[in-house]
Amino acid sequence: MRKRLSYRKAKKGIAEQYSISINQDIIRSLGISPNSRRVEMFYDRVNKRLIIRKSEKE
């Protein structure tokens, strides 16, 4: 699956933002719900990969 990040310019010099939409089937398979949506994100600098997983701690 290839996606394009959405981009929002910085307002008043405060951080710019990037976002991406994730397929609902993927979200469900991770066990994410409206009441339980905390995730952990890791960046692998060597392989330039971003890894997102469901957090075990809420």
The pLDDT tens digits for 44-58 are: 999 999 999 999 877
Whether residue 15 lies inside any domain: the answer is yes
Residue 25 dihedral angles phi and psi, to the nearest 5°: -65, -40
Closest by CA position to 6, among listed 23, 20, 16: 20
Task: Give me the residues of the chain with pLDDT under 70, please.
Answer: none
pLDDT on residue 12: 80
Q: Which residue pairs, CB below 8 angstroms and at least 24 apart, start in 49-54? A: 54/30
Q: pTM of the entire structure?
A: 0.68
Whether residue 1 lies inside any domain: the answer is no
Give the Cα separation of 15 and 17 in Å (integer).
6
Helix (H, G, I), strand (E, B) or coil at 20: coil
pLDDT on residue 7: 94
Domain that holds residue 14: 6-54
Name the domain count of the chain. 1
